[in-house]
Every structure is written in C-alpha cells, then in structure tokens.
A and B are shown apart, each in its own frame.
Chain A
Amino acid sequence: MPSLINLIEEDRQQQGGEKRSETAGRWQQDSMQKMLTIISNVLRGSASRNAASMVVSSRSYADFTPEATFDIKKVDLHRLEEGPPLTATLTREEGLKYYRTMQTIRRMELKADQLYKQKIIRGFCHLYDGQEACAVGIEGGITLSDHLITAYRAHGYTLTRGGTVREIMAELTGRRGGIAKGKGGSMHMYTKNFYGGNGIVGAQVPLGAGVALACKYLGNDQLCVSLYGDGAANQGQIFETYNMSSLWKLPIIFICENNQYGMGTSVERSSASTEYYKRGDYIPGLRVDGMDVLCVREATKFAADHCRSGKGPILMELQTYRYHGHSMSDPGVSYRTREEIQEVRSKSDPISMLKDRMLSNNMASIEELKEIDIAVRKEIEDAAQFATTDPEPPLDDLCSHIFATDQPFDVRGATPWTKLTSTS
C-alpha cells in the first residue's frame, strides 16, 4: 500500500511542471492519469475506505482543469442575423454546480414518483425528469433578480429559483413545512421572483407579460422568462401575448419547452406547424437543444441580452424530453414506445452528457461526482423523511393568507353558523 502511494506522489511531482492550457479542447489523457484512476478504483473496490480516500485526497483540486470550452450545437434562427456562440466555456465550479442541481432535480422527481405510488403524495403530480438541462441552463443565463413563470411541471424551477428540496417535498405531501404552507400542492409553488406553478394550460404566459411590463415600468433592467409547453403553444392567449409584448417591447423571453408530447398527443397531431420557435412570427426565435445544459445557457444569455438592450421579446424553443408520462396517472407508454424513451435516455440524457464532458476533460473525477451523488441522495432522503413526518397545516390556518396584507376578517364556513377568521 505505501509503495503505491509513493508511486502516485512521484507521478504528481512529475506532472507539476506540465503546462495546462486554459482553453484546450479535448484534453489529452495522460496515460499516468489513466493509471491513477484505475488504481484508485481498484483500491476503492478492494481496500479500506481510508486507503481510497487517501488516494483521492492526494489528487488535489489543482489537478483538475479549471475551465474548458466545448462546441455546442448550432441554434436554428428565426428573424435573427446572428445567434448565440457556437462554443461555451464551462468552469469546474459551474460544472459541479450544474451537475449537482440536475442530479438533485432528477432524484427529487424520482422520489416524488415513489412517494406518489405509496399514496403519500396525491392529486396532480407532473414530473420533470429528463428536462433538467432546461431549468438549470435557463437559470445559468439569468440572475435571481430576474423573474420566471411556468406551468405545472414546475418542481425543477422551484428548486433553481431558490426553493429547497425539503420545502418542495413537504409541499407535495401537503405539510405545514411546505413552500406554500401545504396549501398549494404540486402546481402552486412559489419563491421570490418565481410565480409558479400554474394549473391552467397557457394562462401563465400573459401573466409573464404582466411581470415583464412591471419590469419595464420600474426600469430595473430585469426581465421575465415565460415558459409553456408544446401543447400550450397553440393557445390563443399566447398569441395575444406575443402581440402585446412585441408592441410594447416588453423584456420577456418566451420559452417553449417542446418535449414532443402534449399529454398524450404528439406534436404532429396537435400543431399545424411544429416549428414553435417561428410561431412568434414577428418575434425573433431560436431553436435550441434542450438536453444540453450549455446550449440552453448560451441561448438564454443571448436572449437576455436581446431583452435587456430594449429590443423587445424573443422566443426560444427548447427541444427536450420527459421520461415520465404527462403526470403520475399516465404511464407514458400508450402514445410512445419504451424503445424511444430508452433511446433518449441512453443517447441524450442531460446529466450523462455533462458528466461525460467533465470527466473526459478532467474537470472532475468519478469519485467526486459519486460523492455528489451520495450527498444528493442523502439530501433527498432527509427531505422525504421531513416531508412524511412533518404535521399537516393546523385547522386554524384554513382561511388564512387569502389576501396579502389585510385586517383579519370573517369568512363564512360550511354553514351560516360557522364563522371562521382569515388572517394574513
């Protein structure tokens, strides 16, 4: 054992003198480093934990590439001369952050699936797994002082917009520790500058324009991201919103998350034109690979610049995929094949894509990512534990929080003799 560690130390000293390119493309794997990985894996497998962690810690973070640039897919443009750049730079910190957030969303949704099947979560539950790159990428292109509104597939956004897993899961189970005090449920979660969570298909888009109008009115250089799906894209109110926001040059980014299916209806069966990025007509549009977090981020940055420079709205179509059915009552295989789902999972999974990129460019080690996985798993377990043991809201809270700020007032109960009080 000691001799192996000496070997590793020696190797490190040898490599210390090597120059590392900041903007290298494909990182050339040094054979020594390959051996290092193999050794640490073997040690981990057969030896004690101490030995394995000693190997890991002997590889200090200075060994990792701090930053790398990746080629990303070209974006289709509508009424735009130029689009987002064809390359994206990712720092190690960003990479780890995106990885952790996407993994957290993934695990959280799978946990929600589990709890739903145990009937601990009831009612509507629309899961986001498969689409993580959209939520994380968008957040990477805007700031928390910008605004965002989406439809009912909102758990991922609640997290990226500042919610904690504990609050989200407790809201799903309808407990007092939930992000909406247990009164909202899956489709009504809110945080600062995040307006939910909306049940009526497409109705959130005009609301988003309203938020954008407020941004323009207050002159605070903020913008609003208004999301909707391929099913909602045919709603009339969305076209009304296109018109008004274009006319008034509102700082709004319309984002169509095209996951190919509106509930059970494929895009071909619901839409005369499936080029959703062009549906804004006079509004410039981008069609982006929604499974690649870097693609989404660069496109969002581009769109945000467009809005902030006062040019008015812009439309982004994110081509993405959901692994689950529309909601928990939909197995998701009556209108698409399992093979299709499997294929997307194996070829385009957003988390795998990021992981491969980071590993093959030596931006992180497998162990490090595994540690993140373990930490995420623990966080989800703790949250689920909290969500199942936290008590339900108290009955005194039945009528509370109807208005934002108001004097307490009487609320009629189920009978004329039942007088309840609402407090804010």
Chain B
Amino acid sequence: MGFMVICSLYINKISILLSSHFCILTSRMSLFQVNVRDALNHAMDEELERDERVFLLGEEVAQYDGAYKVSRGLWKKYGDKRIIDTPITEVKTNTLAGVQSQHNISLSQYFELACRHLSSCAVTMVTRANQKPFFCISPQTVVFLENELMYGVPFELSEEVMHKDFVVPIGKAKVERQGTHISLVSHSRCVGFCLDAAAVLAKEGVECEVVNLRTIRPLDVETIEASVIKTGHLVTVEGGWPQYGVGAEICARIMEGPAFNYLDAPAVRVTGVDIPMPYAKILEDHSVPQIKDIIFSVKKVLNM
C-alpha cells in the first residue's frame, strides 16, 4: 500500500516553471506573464478544485496566506477543512500525512514544503534534495522543493500551459536549449544561469545544450546520456555542495553507463563553494555558482 501521489499533476506543471526558463512558444500562442509564486498558487487552486480529497496542510498556510504568500486566498476560498494550519511540528506533520495515506488509499495529500523549517535554511533545502530524495512516480509520495529566491521571478506562459489539464510527467528531464558542443545538466535556479551562460558562449561559437532535470529522483539518466552521447562533453551545475551532490551522482552514472565511451573529456561539476553559507552579500554571491564559473568550466572542458 503505497502513499498516494501528491498532486502530481500540479507539481509537474509547476516544475516547469520552477526549474527556470522554458521555451517560449511561437508567436501564434499568446503569452502570460506569471511569477513562480502565482503559478504555484494557481496550480494548487486547480488541484483543490479538481479533487475533493486534496487538502493543504502546513504552517501558516491558511490564515496567514502562506509564509511566502504562496497559498494566498486559498483558505478564503476553500475553508478550514481543506486548508489547515498546523502548529510548528515538522516531524509530526509529515508522519500524520503519511499515516493517513497508509490507512486510506483514496486520500491525496499535499505537503507544503515551503513552510518555515525548510525555507529558513536555504542551504539545507538543497542538501535535503541531495540526501533524502524520495521523489517517486505515482502513486507514490512526492517531495516538492521550491527555491524561495525564485518566488518573485516572472516567466512567460503560453495558453497551452495555462490550461488546467496541462501536465508534465515526474521523472522526465527537459532539454531547455538544443546544442552540439557540450551538455550543461542542471536543476532549479541554476538552469537560468546555464541558459545565460549559453547565450554568452553562443557569441563565441560554442553551442551548449542545457538540460533541466526537473526531477532529482528518479534521475532521468536516459535524457542525460542521450545529450552526452550527442555532444561528448558534460558539465553539471548545481547550487548545492559538491560532496555527495546531484552532480556527483550524475557523473557516477555517466561513468557507469554507455555514455562514458562518448566523452571526449572528463565530466566536471560546477557547484556551490564547500563552506557554510555566509551572510554578507559579497560572500554569499561568491559561494554559489556564477555565470562566469559556468563559462570558465565549459571553456576548460572544451580545451579553449
């Protein structure tokens, strides 16, 4: 008896946006400017409307409209039964949700993971994704991690995406940008940096393929391998620490799989600096991957 899927439909739609940019469709489609916070909000709203059994449970999600205002308006619309404020008890909330789903297969649940205990430690958020991943294909529990720095960032959505039945599968990466010379594999905020770096490198004649993982576990190794086989070079980019990180796993998998034979140079990781996250702005900026780090690594790998 597994856990029920946690609004996988909604999660998938959001994961497009969260992971960063996505292709702007051709001019025939009309485009909507939506920021990540509002996109999350709309998606939750749609899921709550679609299925009576869906509810939202977390710290400050109801009357406070969400610690980061992600669940704004939902309590007003759906009331106490569907939108539930909990005391500050992280372990209990998770266990409670788990227990319920074990006893009642038909109950779907959603974890508001942007609640205080995760959002108050941005570094841990990334680390947790690395160390305790339990994304699974439905009907399993899904953990959905949001980068709080992205909440206010707007993206353009086509009409197709805005439609409430638009879904994207869990466990599938997306090639955000086609390229031929090198593969940049990333997730979350860093995908945006990769695309920016790719734009700069394109001016020098280097075409980077940017792969947005979207799901950490299960890792879409096929898409990564296909990309590496095509380009022959790999740089992984992540905000987390290098040791035991997503990039480390990707490199190990590539080495163990068929794509290794197509590598023309060792695969390389661009990561956060291996230190506790400092507070001062100048130090913080230098402890996460910057676009120049990505460009530098690409050039090193391509022996430029």
Contacts and interface: CB of A to CB of B under 8 A. Distances in A.
A262 interface: yes
Nearest to B272: A414
A110 interface: no
A7 B281 CA distance: 62
Nearest to B235: A415
A174 B293 contact: no
30 contacts: A122-B281, A124-B120, A174-B280, A175-B280, A180-B279, A182-B280, A183-B280, A199-B120, A201-B120, A231-B87, A236-B91, A262-B87, A264-B64, A265-B59, A265-B60, A269-B85, A270-B85, A393-B282, A393-B283, A398-B287, A402-B275, A412-B242, A412-B274, A414-B271, A414-B272, A414-B290, A414-B293, A415-B268, A416-B268, A417-B300
Interface in B114-139: 116-117, 120-121
Among B87, B120, B271, B297, chain A packs the most CB atoms within 10 A around the CB of B87
A334 B271 contact: no
Contacts of B302: none
Given A269-B85, A399-B273, A182 B279 contact: yes
Contact of B60 (A122, A174, A263, A413): A263
A200 B286 contact: no
Contacts of B268: 415-416
Interface string B55-94: 0000110011101000000000000000001011101100
A235 B286 contact: no
B88 A416 contact: no
Interface string A386-421: 000000110101110010000000011111111010
B276 interface: yes
Contacts of B270: 414-415
Interface in B142-191: none
B217 interface: no
A264 B280 CA distance: 28
Contact of B67 (A184, A263, A393): A263
A176 B288 CA distance: 20
Nearest to B281: A174
B289 interface: yes
Contacts of A124: 120
Contacts of A171: 279
A211 B219 CA distance: 43
A14 B116 CA distance: 65
Given A174-B279, A174-B280, A270 B87 contact: yes
A234 B117 CA distance: 14
A265 B290 contact: no
A422 B271 CA distance: 18
Given A174-B280, A265-B85, A236 B64 contact: no
A265 B116 CA distance: 13
B282 A234 contact: no
Among B60, B278, B283, chain A packs the most CB atoms within 10 A around the CB of B278
B60 A200 contact: no
A143 interface: no
Contact of A262 (B88, B271, B275, B290): B88
A219 to B, nearest CB: 33
Contacts of B32: none
B244 interface: no
A201 B289 CA distance: 29
Interface string A185-201: 10010000000000111
Contacts of A200: 117, 120-121
A335 interface: yes
B279 A415 contact: no
B296 A415 contact: yes
B283 A397 contact: yes
Contact of A411 (B91, B273, B278, B279): B273
B279 A264 contact: no
A316 interface: no
Given A263-B59, A265-B60, A411-B273, A188 B116 contact: no
Given A123-B279, A416-B268, A422-B275, 8 more contacts: A174-B280, A200-B120, A265-B60, A270-B85, A392-B280, A397-B283, A398-B278, A417-B297
A185 B117 CA distance: 18
A232 interface: yes
Contacts of A416: 268-269, 297
B88 A234 contact: yes
A232 B89 CA distance: 8
Contacts of B276: 402
Contact of A183 (B63, B67, B278): B278
A235 B89 contact: yes
Nearest to B300: A417
A202 interface: yes
A231 B273 contact: no
Contacts of B116: 201, 263
Contacts of B271: 412, 414
A40 B30 CA distance: 75
A403 to B, nearest CB: 11
A414 B273 contact: yes
Contacts of B280: 174-176, 182-183, 392-393
Contacts of A411: 273-275
A271 interface: yes
Contacts of B290: 414
Nearest to B242: A412
A199 B121 CA distance: 7
Contacts of A185: 279
